A and B are shown apart, each in its own frame.
Chain A
């Protein structure tokens, strides 16, 4: 079983709603990631946090707002999403954000925007 835990597993939200995805890792890792995966497509990087600081934002729209309260927790706040944002959102972690560190994924949160 993965040691990266994501909640909720499934989320349905309206375009005017505000919701959050949550992620927790118990491996003592200092880098955490958000990826987005559409059906039959590979994961796409959204954000990287390194030592609780945002280090990479892959030009993600501002309706997605990441937050890293501490080294074990990572949130993704969602507001005014569009139906095309429906996807599997994957949290991941690695020992640190240095090059080549192995990235471990959580089980994902399935998001449907209606």
Chain B
């Protein structure tokens, strides 16, 4: 059973702080990793993807991947109230059968004024 695990939260951070969202996965063959943001009542919106070990930065967002530890994280700098949402980690194991994502259950982030 391929699993992707996230802390459901809520994770509360003050405005302007760094929010750190974490995700672990069970399948060592996993090759590509995605972070989606989902506002309540809306569809998932792609934030970032990462394929290689290390950090990848895009504006206020940084994705970090450590395949040896089977761990991927998302850092949000200068958190804003508009960042309050559920963040879904998704993993593509690449074990055949096409482009299938396994999602974690999501972490709810609350950015407080």
Q: Are B43 and A94 in contact (CB under 8 A)?
A: no
A contacts with B: majority SS: loop
Q: Chain B interface residue count: which class?
A: 20 to 34
The CA-CA distance from A104 to B106 in the complex, in Å, is 17
B49 closest partner in A (C-beta): A102
A42 closest partner in B (C-beta): B103
Encode contact with B along A32-66: 1 for CB under 8 Å, 0 otherwise: 00000000011111001010000110000000000
Instruction: Using CB atoms and an 8 Å cutoff, list the residues of chain A in contact with chain B.
Output: 2, 31, 41-45, 48, 50, 55-56, 88, 90, 94, 96-108
Instruction: Using CB atoms and an 8 Å cutoff, list the residues of chain B in contact with chain A.
Output: 31-32, 34, 36, 42-46, 49, 51, 88, 92, 94, 97-101, 103-106
27 examples of A-B residue contacts, CB within 8 angstroms: A2-B45, A31-B99, A42-B104, A42-B105, A43-B103, A45-B101, A50-B98, A56-B97, A56-B98, A88-B43, A94-B99, A97-B98, A98-B98, A99-B31, A99-B32, A99-B92, A99-B98, A99-B99, A100-B31, A100-B51, A100-B99, A101-B99, A102-B46, A103-B34, A103-B101, A107-B42, A107-B43
